[in-house]
Structure 1
Amino acid sequence: MRRLVMWDIDYTLLRGGGVAARAWKAAFTEVTGLAWRDTPVFGGRTDLDICAEVFTVHGVTDCTPERFFASYVRNVHEIKHEFAEQGALMPGVREVLTRLGDDPAVVQTLVTGNVPEVAAAKVAAFGLEGSFDAEVGGYGTDDSVRATLVRRSLERARVKYGETFRPVVIGDTVNDVTAALKNGAIAIGVATGATAAAELVAAGAHTVLPDLTDADAAIRAVTA
């Protein structure tokens, strides 16, 4: 059985340098006419979930997520060159992606809280777009619950490839780990974000790595 390796983006593959957050705030003011007052916790959440919280906190009742996301994507595309200028790849990412990409028993994709267009802009900024079958990914517009994103990705891969995959989720937050476990996936935690390694272990991750600089250890965790 081949493995479907589902990568989180932010603080797992890369850090975006706050570019998307600036675009988010600008889009919010653009579509609502309101000044931004309160920044939610973004880590490990889906954009649909964050959007609902932001609307509620600011008392917005006349704006749909679809309308907001259209503006958000436009804003991101205007400044997407800044991802590479202000952000960075996380340590070891390129080698691990390359080695897994050379393995015919592995299909790599993205399972991320980002909307698809922003996910694509982030990975493209660092030349990673060829590493993933983004068509079978799970994204922040699929559902507000992160575990559903993993399930959607599995369903898409099954339809496209006509086979059942063993799922592997790689992420830096407890939400990534929980989403993996709810779908019977191997959960690999990478402590390169705000979540400590001990928290990822306590959440039930099968493997926790300090980062991806030990490519051999990362490959073993995925293919074990």
Structure 2
Amino acid sequence: MRRLVMWDIDYTLLRGGGVAARAWKAAFTEVTGVDWHSTPSFGGRTDLDICAEVFAVHGVTDCTPERFFARYVEIVHESRHEFAEQGALLPGVREVLTRLGDDPRVVQTLVTGNVPEVAAAKVAAFGLAGSFDAEVGGYGTDDSVRATLVRRSLERARAKYGEDFRPVVVGDTVHDVTAALANGAVAIAVATGATAAADLTAAGAHTVLPDLADADAAIRALTA
């Protein structure tokens, strides 16, 4: 059985330099006419979930997520060159993706809280787009619950390839770990974000890595 390796993006593969967060705030104020005054925790959450909180905290009742996301995506597109200028690819990422891409037993995709267009812009900025079958990914517009994104990705992969997969989720937050476990997936955590390795272990991650710099160790964990 082949593995479907589902990669989170932010603080797992790369740091975006705050580009998306700035675009989010600009789009919100432009579309709603309401000044931004409260920033939620973004880590590991879906854009639908964050959008609901932002609207509620700011008292917005006359705007839909779809209308907001449309402008948000436009602003990200306009500033997409800033991802590589102000952000960074995390250690070992390129080598691990390349080696897995050469393995016929593995299909790689994205399971991320980002909307699809923003996810695409982030990975493209670092030359990673060719590493993933984005068609079978799970995205922040699929559902507000992170676990559902994993399930949708697995369903899409099964439908496209006509086979079952062993799911593997790679992420840097407790949300990634719990979403993996809810779907019977192997949970590989990297302590490259704000969540401590001990907390990722306590959440139930099968393996916790400090980062992907030791490509051999990462490959062993991802293909065990």
Under TM normalisation by the shorter chain, which class is it?
A: over 0.9
Identity within the alignment, %: 89
Partner of 2:203: 203
Query: In the aligned structure 1, how far is the partner of 2:189 from the partner of 2:79?
Result: 30
- Measured against aligned partners, the alpha-carbon deviations of 1:92-129 in whole angstroms (never above 9, x if no partner) come to 00000000000000000000000000000000000000
Listed as ranges, the matches of 1:1-224 within 5 Å are: 1-224=1-224
Partners of 1:71 and 1:38 lie apart in 2 by 20
CA separation in 2, counterparts of 1:211 and 1:20? Answer: 23
Q: Unaligned regions of 5+ residues in structure 1, if any?
A: none
TM normalised by structure 2 equals 1.00
Instruction: After TM superposition, give the deviation of residue 150 of structure 1 in Å.
Output: 0.1
Offset, 1:208 = 0.2
Structure 2: how far apart are the matches of 1:199 and 1:216? Answer: 24
2-structure distance, mates of 1:121, 1:217: 29
- Counterpart CA distance in 2 for 1:208 and 1:4 is 19
The DSSP-based 3-state class of the residue aligned with 1:139 is coil
Partners of 1:118 and 1:112 in 2: how far apart?
10
Structure 2 unaligned residues grouped into runs of 5+: none
How many residues of Structure 1 are paired with residues of Structure 2 in the alignment? 224
How much does 1:5 deviate?
0.1
1:219 CA displacement:
0.6
Distance in 2, Cα, partners of 1:138 & 1:202: 25
Counterparts of 1:8 and 1:203, CA distance in 2: 17
TM-score normalised over the length of structure 1:
1.00
Q: Distance in 2 between matches of 1:104 and 1:184?
A: 22
Separation (CA, whole Å) in 2 of partners of 1:175 and 1:92: 23
2:138 match: secondary structure: coil
Rounded Cα–Cα distance in structure 1 between residues aligned with 2:223 and 2:122: 26
SS in 2 for 1:166: strand
| d(CA) in 2 for partners of 1:35, 1:123 | 30
* Offset at residue 161 of structure 1 (A): 0.1
Moved over 2 A (4+): none
Alpha-carbon distance in structure 1 between the residues aligned to 2:130 and 2:208: 26
Shift of 1:49: 0.1
Separation (CA, whole Å) in 2 of partners of 1:141 and 1:53? 15
Aligned mates of 1:66, 1:148 — CA distance in 2: 19
| CA RMSD after TM alignment | 0.3
Q: Alignment partner of 1:167: what SS?
A: strand
1:147-171: CA deviations, max 9, x gaps?
Answer: 0000000000000000000000000
Offset at 1:68? 0.3
CA shift digits 1:55-92 (9 cap, x unpaired):
00000000000000000000100100000000000110
State the 1:195 CA deviation: 0.3
